[in-house]
Copies of this chain bind each other. A is one copy, B any other.
Amino acid sequence: MAKAPKNAISPTRAEDFPEWYQQVVRAADLAENSEVRGCMVIKPWGYGLWEKMQQQLDRMFKDTGHKNAYFPLLIPVSYLEKEATHVEGFATECAVVTHHRLELDSDGKMVPKGELTEPYVIRPTSETIIGAAFARWTQSYRDLPLLINQWANVMRWEMRTRMFLRTAEFLWQEGHTAHETKEEALEETHKMHEVYETFLRDHLAVPVIAGEKTEAERFPGALNTYTVEAMVQDRKAIQAGTSHFLGQNFSKAAGIEYESREGKRELAWTTSWGVSTRMIGTLLMAHSDDDGLVLPPRVAPTQVVIIPVMPKDEHREIVMPVVEDLATRLKAQTFHQAPVEVEVDARDIGGGTKTWEWIKKGAPIRIEVGPRDVEKGSVALARRDKGPKEKAFIPVDEAVGGIVDTLQEIQDNLLARAKGFLDENLVEFDDIEKFRAFFTPENADKPEIHGGFALVHWAGSTEDEEALQAELKITVRCIPKDADLRGGKGTCIYTGKEAEGRVIFAKSY
């Protein structure tokens, strides 16, 4: 019997998906837990990935007319209170600042002093504080639309945390806009919903189901919440980004009024939309394998790593000049409007260790150059989306000339793979018992990997959703935007009432 291949990550996805996730975060050196409850340290490789995402999203925001600005970290409690649903949604999980200095007490311990007249919360989101600014900025219809984005840290005191997926502090962007009319605000909400869908597909190689949330999963204070839902490899859903139509709720709360074209005082219509470092968790679970992280080239901090192979000291002067020249030639290539990101790893550690480090970190392409390759004028090129042993031995010129195509092939391959997986695990049901079975562990390969996205007719209430959540741990992920998925009228799988169309049910993160 052949020996089972040993993987870099233990346990494997099939053995224990949640633990596999934690191990990949660690093996890829993305982040680690800190001593601050629920807060992580994002390490250079993880932060490099976030920077890449930021750059590309930021360009998309600017191309759609938005400008960045920065608003205070602290929010007076009275601000939160102005929008009733909003404060309810966030009151149970916010960090509260009550004092403004520390003093030594009689035991020699530093204790909080200088109590504030009004406590502040660290922003869990910024609708209220940005609304107050918008109220100052908006006198006339000529001041509209306001199209603002903020890159910031936010804090939600979650009780159970998991790196990138749910942390007390996280990094995100929050777009906030104000408009003259309901139609314009809705158009903005949909436009940014689409930007997220495009970003996930074209940059992260993650196909999503775009759609609207039901009332139960709506943002506190929003009239409509639109979401992009990704399917990760345990077939659960993860909400990767949301765009909210806030109607006039926050305008009313903050007093965002303007003089209309007809000379009347009107309330503006607002939207907000955001994605966060949670996308790193999404990306990880969508593409990675039992050898570690797999990164789509468009967001990889290093797209090509060159590993000089120099078993003997005297190899250095043969190999390094070729490696440096190769690096220069690769960096001169352009992949999606930016120079190819190349790193030469000439650290003095074992070649095997080094190679496995880069496999675990998910670098899309590894190129090894040893003394014999130099002689032959060739290199060994390995793609992260293929097996760790699979290498192409090709002439240097071919490696250089083909690098951009190879990066694009990897990008396309990851998307196709994820799309295939989503299609395979997106199942229509009209029979409630089959639907139940789909989400019941006994019918799954493994305790943690089961189900998928179920597409069913639905006309249930929030209470019906809660009942299904209690029974099967599933929620309505969204009412799909895609007319083919939504389908026509039919009978609600749960209530038997007439339903307008199908929705997606799934377990989720």
Contact = CB atoms under 8 A, between A and B. Distances in A.
Interface of A: 32, 34-36, 39-44, 46-48, 50-51, 67-77, 80-81, 87, 91-103, 110-112, 114, 119-122, 129, 132-133, 136, 142, 148, 152-153, 155, 157, 169, 171, 349
Contacts of A77: 102, 110
A99 B68 CA distance: 31
Given A77-B110, A96-B98, A96-B100, 16 more contacts: A32-B133, A34-B132, A35-B76, A41-B69, A43-B69, A44-B68, A44-B148, A73-B153, A87-B102, A91-B101, A91-B110, A92-B101, A101-B157, A102-B121, A114-B157, A122-B122
A80 B103 CA distance: 12
Contacts of A103: 91
B67 A48 contact: yes
A178 B354 CA distance: 23
Contact of A97 (B92, B110, B122): B122
A95 B77 CA distance: 15
Nearest to A34: B72
Given A92-B101, A121-B102, A47 B68 contact: yes
Contacts of A100: 93-96, 157
Contact of A76 (B36, B51, B80, B95): B36
25 contacts: A32-B136, A34-B71, A34-B72, A35-B132, A39-B74, A41-B133, A44-B148, A46-B69, A47-B67, A51-B68, A70-B171, A73-B122, A80-B102, A87-B110, A91-B101, A91-B103, A92-B102, A93-B101, A94-B101, A95-B100, A96-B99, A96-B102, A97-B122, A111-B119, A152-B153
Nearest to A155: B73
A80 B44 contact: no
Given A69-B43, A96-B100, A74 B119 contact: no
Contacts of A120: 36, 95
Given A157-B100, A157-B101, A75 B36 contact: yes
Contacts of A132: 34-35
A34 B122 contact: no
A44 B69 CA distance: 5
A95 B74 contact: yes
Contact of A41 (B71, B112, B169): B71
Contact of A70 (B47, B76, B112, B349): B47
B169 A74 contact: yes
Contact of A112 (B68, B93, B119, B133): B119
A152 B70 CA distance: 12
A77 B103 CA distance: 11
Most buried by B among A32, A46, A73, A171: A73
A80 B110 CA distance: 9
Contacts of A35: 76, 132
Contacts of A73: 39, 122, 153, 155, 169
A72 B41 contact: yes
A203 to B, nearest CB: 19
A478 B354 CA distance: 46
Contacts of A72: 34, 36, 39-41, 169
Residue with the greatest number of chain B CB neighbours at <10 A, chosen from A81, A95, A136: A95
Contact of A101 (B36, B43, B96): B96
A81 B68 contact: no
A36 B126 CA distance: 13
Nearest to A159: B100
A138 to B, nearest CB: 14
A115 to B, nearest CB: 10
A147 B96 CA distance: 33
Contacts of A152: 153
Contacts of A95: 74, 97, 99-100, 120
Nearest to A74: B36
A484 to B, nearest CB: 40
Nearest to A100: B157
A92 to B, nearest CB: 5
A94 to B, nearest CB: 6
Nearest to A146: B44
A169 B97 CA distance: 14
A25 to B, nearest CB: 14
Contacts of A93: 100-101
A90 to B, nearest CB: 8
Nearest to A167: B72
